[in-house]
Chain A
Amino acid sequence: NAGVIQTPRHKVTGKGQEATLWCEPISGHSAVFWYRQTIVQGLEFLTYFRNQAPIDDSGMPKERFSAQMPNQSHSTLKIQSTQPQDSAVYLCASSLVRDISYEQYFGPGTRLTVL
């Protein structure tokens, strides 16, 4: 079991460019979560999917951020027109839907740096 896979591990973009982050959940896990980690704000929930359907995106910034889960084997987080304040480590986690505690397994994260 490879665990949750996130690519790329590091991404550097210029201000105004687009960034797409990829997450491959653990095989058989039907819930996928996205979090953002910064020194200032700590770990913040962004959005999550269950069985590919968006369930809660209450943590997503209203502009420029979007997430999709086109199939059960991957999810993407897209940031349009990146700004320096978007610099963070973006963590993806997955869990088994039948585990009602939603114990989450975290990926290594993607460190996004916006210059």
Chain B
Amino acid sequence: GEQVEQRPPHLSVREGDSAFITCTYTDPNSYYFFWYKQEPGASLQLLMKVFSSTEINEGQGFTVLLNKKDKRLSLNLTAAHPGDSAAYFCAVSPSNSGTYQRFGTGTKLQVVP
């Protein structure tokens, strides 16, 4: 079946450094793409939603890049701080008409002071 692969599974960076997470997907019909943050014991918090090809989106302290040609979605946390320590998940919506999301395997990020 269609898959979403996320790398790396674990990432440790120093405070102030960047943290880069990548997802690759196989379904060519994927249309909407999401990044979520999950703190320990908490639910999923949406960071950003993107859908245009080769799009760079900037949020608060992070950048999301979508490359539909390569079927690659990435999240770059710039100048990470300890509050960014959490699990991060990408998700792909396999339709343009509204449906469930297919999740990546997750990245556990630790930001060390």
A binds B: yes
Name the residue of chain A whose CB is nearest to the CB of B46.
Answer: A103
A70 at the interface (CB under 8 A from B): no
Q: Which residues of B contact A44 (CB under 8 A)?
A: 103
9 further A-B pairs in the complex, CB-CB below 8 A; given A45-B102, A56-B100, A106-B44: A35-B103, A42-B106, A50-B98, A93-B44, A100-B97, A101-B51, A101-B98, A102-B93, A103-B34
**B→A interface (CB under 8 Å):** 32, 34, 42-46, 49, 51, 89, 91, 93, 96-106
Name the residue of chain A whose CB is nearest to the CB of B51.
Answer: A101
Interface size on A, residues (CB 8 A): 27
Contact A106-B43, Cβ < 8 Å, known A101-B32, A101-B93: yes
Contact A56-B105, Cβ < 8 Å, known A101-B49, A101-B51, A107-B43: no
A33 at the interface (CB under 8 A from B): yes
Main secondary structure of the interface of A (DSSP, over half): strand
0/1 per residue, A35-74, Cβ < 8 Å to B?
A: 1000000111100101000011001000000000000000
B44 and A42: CB pair below 8 A?
no
Tell me the bound Cα distance from A35 to B99 in angstroms: 13
A60 nearest CB across to chain B (Å): 12
